[in-house]
Amino acid sequence: MWLPVTLNRPLIWVALTALPACVWLPDSGLRLVAALLVALGLWDAWKQVRQQRLRLRLTQDTLGLASDAMVISDEQNRIIAINPAFTEITGYTGPEVQGVKLETLAAPRHDKAFYQKLWGTLKSTGRWEGEMWSQRKSGDEYPEWLKVRAVTDKRGKVTHFINLFTDISAQKARENDLRRIGFEDPLTGLPNRRRLHDLLASRLRHIRAGESLDMALIDIDGFKSVNDSLGVEQGDRLLARFAQRLTSYVAGSVVGRLGGDEFMVIRTTTFDDHDQWIATLREHMSRPFEMNDQSLRLGLTIGSCRVPEDGNDSGVLFQRLESALYSAKRLGRNLSQRFRPALDKQDNPQLALVSDLRAALISGDQLELHFQTQHQPSNGAVVGMEALLRWRHPRDGMISPGDFIPLAERHGLMSQLGAWVIEKACAQQAHWRHRNMPKLTIWVNISALQLFQGDLESQLATCLKRYQLLPSQIGLELTESVLLDERAGEMRPRLQGLRDQGFAIAIDDFGTGYSSLGYLKRLPVDKIKLDRAFIKDLPNDQADAAIVKAVLAMAEGMGLEVIAEGVETKEQCQFLVTAGCMSVQGFYFARPMPAEDLEKRLAPAPLASHSAS
Ligand code: C2E
Ligand code: CA
Ligand code: CA
């Protein structure tokens, strides 16, 4: 590379001419002069070589340090040289791409018109800059920001291209996160609940004389067992495929995902064929899905309603669709049920239960708070406890919070119920303080609705004052889905406010939502509660073992504590000790129990006094 440049130097030509003269010149004095000229020429050339080498090394070092990937290609865009950042981003080493046409590394996402425009600009202006999708050696596609400059010779002919690019996938992911948190279901890309409300409202506004809306809420039967048998990843794939099929089948209609395995379709129509429409929808969506050489036929439960017959307010219509769906579920699975006004009234056991819950809240004596201790896995020392709500129904016995809390949320009772829990937990904490029990933080579960319906902050403040407690004596557990629930508004400032007051905040059921770590990282939280789904099959399940270790490592890097929940066996506990987990909760150490039982357990020989204040 440097030799041709050296030959441009006049001194080397003088030396080359003088070389034969050293031999044939008769006079020894002249021969000496010729030899001196040769030596001078060689010295100059050697100096040049050194300088060129130095320059080359400096250039290489600079390119090596650059975090942008750099590629030099020839006039046919074949790769001549790359820098280390290129290898880091793409996975390709120099020898692997030497001579390869640069465009073959692009992802097959751009059409002919894109390249025509790129080359056109490059030819006319000598430069191009823009976003482009490329492919790593692993096959993964990623977005890059690419700058290309054409290098020309003296006559203006292109000899090389200099390509500079950065990997912008992280930036893109952040943008996507923000979009998702707003309006889009991240798994399927369909509108989420909030967006569906807007879309329904818009369709209602634009409805013309003679038109109606058909609405269907579709729930996949036993989807949990699909997840359990095929794994969550396959479950997600199935949901994505379901979404795709539904979207293409009802083209022109609104399709959205309300969460989990619930999908909604809204059609504007001039036909009066609601039942027929539902039947064909069901028939089409019940056709088998081919998954891993397995033919999966799904059972579907569908609730439906129609505008204007069943209402024309978007909030009411959503509620009625849900009523219809629950009534269909109650009648058995794989059924369709259109909304009937009666579903709003007494013949719905769900609603009967809601009215019982209202009564329970008023009387107060059917509700109880149980407590489950949290432990240091290495020695069993108690380090905290979680408050868990119990409802002792006078006729039906114990009802699981997993059943009645969603009901309370749907029927507007959650903020009242949540307030009851906070009050009770504070009262219990104060009682234990007076009895000199070990100082342990009581962790309380907070529902999304408490954040955006009730005034959580002032409720907490009132209770702390009433019972003379410090905020550090109460911890708040929010599930991952709460943190992502767009109805709660921007979570960051609220969490920051609570934390500034001194409350510790934990992300409950961590790993079950769709939140990206990037998003969680920005939230002010103290603790991650690793969902029991990841603990269940430890230590045998390789994937779960790897996830648990990765979360522990990541949390350490972010300065977060981790607690593992659902620890039931000695083996699970031992695995967690080895993996470096500092606290656990689960039946292995203790089940949730009434306050009096816990008092008996802790009072005689307190295991540890983890300071909570
Ligand atoms: P969660 O917050 O994830 O609570 C832990 C649940 O796991 C509790 O069920 C607990 O009894 C159970 N559990 C604890 N250790 C083990 C174990 O080793 N193995 C197994 N299989 N399960 C274990 P629970 O009490 O039925 O509560 C269910 C859910 O109800 C809670 O899940 C929480 O989401 C909700 N919940 C309970 N109390 C409240 C409350 O006061 N407010 C709100 N908003 N939600 C509550
Ligand atoms: Ca919890
Ligand atoms: Ca949990």
- CATH number of the structural domain spanning residue 314: 3.30.70.270
Higher pLDDT, 471 or 197: 471
Domain membership flag for residue 142: yes
Task: Assess whether pLDDT exceeds 60 at residue 550.
Answer: yes
- Residue with the smallest CA separation from ligand 1 atom 15 is 586
The verdict on the CB of residue 41 being under 6 Å from ligand 1 is no
Predicted local distance difference test score (pLDDT) of residue 3: 38
Query: What is the spatial distance between Cα 143 and Cα 165, in angstroms, rounded to a whole number?
Result: 10
Q: Is the CB of 384 under 6 A from ligand 1?
A: no
Segments forming the whole domain that contains residue 77:
69-167
Return the DSSP state at 188: T
- In this structure, are 57 and 82 located in the same domain? no
Higher pLDDT, 153 or 332: 153
Ligand 1 atom with least separation from CA of 450 = 44
Looking at residue 527, its pLDDT comes to: 92
Provide the pLDDT for residue 2.
36
Q: What's the CA gap between 160 and 157, in Å, rounded?
A: 9
- pLDDT-wise least confident of 3-12, 354-363, 449-458, 527-536: 3-12
CA distance 51 to 6: 11
Q: How many CA atoms within 13 Å lie on the side-chain side of 258?
A: 16
pLDDT of residue 514: 47
Interval between CA 407 and ligand 3 midpoint (Å): 18
pLDDT band per the 50, 70, 90 thresholds, residue 85: very high
291 and 431 share one domain: no
CA of 453 to the centre of ligand 3 (A): 22
Give the pLDDT confidence of 473-504 residue by residue, as tens digits: 999 999 876 666 554 456 778 888 999 999 99
Last residue of a domain, one of 319, 346, 373: 346
Q: Closest ligand 1 atom to the C-alpha of 400?
A: 26
Q: How far apart are CA 513 and CA 430, in angstroms?
A: 34
**3 inside domain:** no
Query: Ligand 3 centre and the CA of 402: distance in Å?
Result: 11
Residues 270 and 161 in one domain: no
Whether residues 506 and 598 fall in one domain:
yes
Tell me: the pLDDT tens digits for 115-131? 999 999 999 999 998 88
| CA angle (84, 88, 91) in 5-degree steps | 110
Q: Is the CB of 587 under 6 A from ligand 1?
A: yes
Residue 5 lies in a domain: no
pLDDT of residue 277: 96
Do 60 and 76 belong to one domain?
A: no
* Count of beta carbons in the 10 Å neighbourhood of residue 343: 23
Angle among Cα 173, 515, 142 to the nearest 5 degrees reads 20
Residues 404 and 290 in one domain: no
Q: What is the pLDDT of residues 198-250, one digit of tens each?
A: 889 989 988 888 899 999 999 998 888 888 888 888 899 999 999 999 999 99
Same domain, 374 and 516: yes
CA of 390 to the centre of ligand 1 (A): 10
Is the pLDDT reported for residue 312 higher than 50? Answer: yes
Q: Is the CB of 480 inside a 6 Å radius of any atom of ligand 1? A: no
Cα 53 from Cα 55, distance rounded (Å) = 5
**Which of these ranges, 52-66, 89-103, 121-135, 316-330, has the smallest mean pLDDT?**
52-66
Interacting residues of 410 by C-beta distance below 8 A, sequence separation 6+: 322
Cα Rg, the chain, nearest whole Å: 35
555 vs 548: CA distance, rounded Å: 10
Tokens representing 595 are 């306050």
In 3-state terms, what secondary structure has residue 326? helix
Neighbours of 290 (CB within 10 A): 9
Q: Is the pLDDT of residue 606 over 50?
A: no
CA of 187 to the centre of ligand 2 (A): 25
Residue 572 has pLDDT above 50, yes or no: yes
Question: What pLDDT is recorded for position 294?
Answer: 82
350: CA distance to ligand 1 center in Å? 21
Across residues 151-157, what is the average pLDDT? 91
Q: Flag whether 443 is in a domain.
A: yes
Provide the pLDDT confidence category of residue 344 given band limits of 50, 70 and 90: low
Q: Among the atoms of ligand 1, which is closest to the Cα of residue 587?
A: 18
Phi, psi dihedrals of residue 271, rounded to the nearest 5°: -85, 155
Whole-number Cα distances in Å, 440 to 106, 428, 433: 57, 11, 9
372 lines ligand 1 (CB under 6 A): yes
> Whose structure tokens read 């609730």?
303
Half-sphere exposure of 543 (CA within 13 A, CB side): 5
Q: Confirm if 288 and 295 have CB atoms less than 8 A apart.
A: yes
Residue 119: is it exposed, middle or buried by C-beta count within 10 angstroms (0-12/13-18/19+)?
Answer: middle
Instruction: Give the pLDDT confidence of 161-184 residue by residue, as tens digits.
Output: 999 999 988 777 766 655 555 577
Within-domain flag for 607: no
- Which atom of ligand 1 is nearest the CA belonging to 585? 15
* Residue 40: pLDDT band with limits 50, 70, 90: confident
CATH number at residue 496: 3.20.20.450
pLDDT at 613 over 70: no
> What pLDDT, on a 0 to 100 scale, did the predictor assign at position 389?
96
565 C-alpha to center of ligand 3: Å?
7
Closest ligand to 402 CA? 1
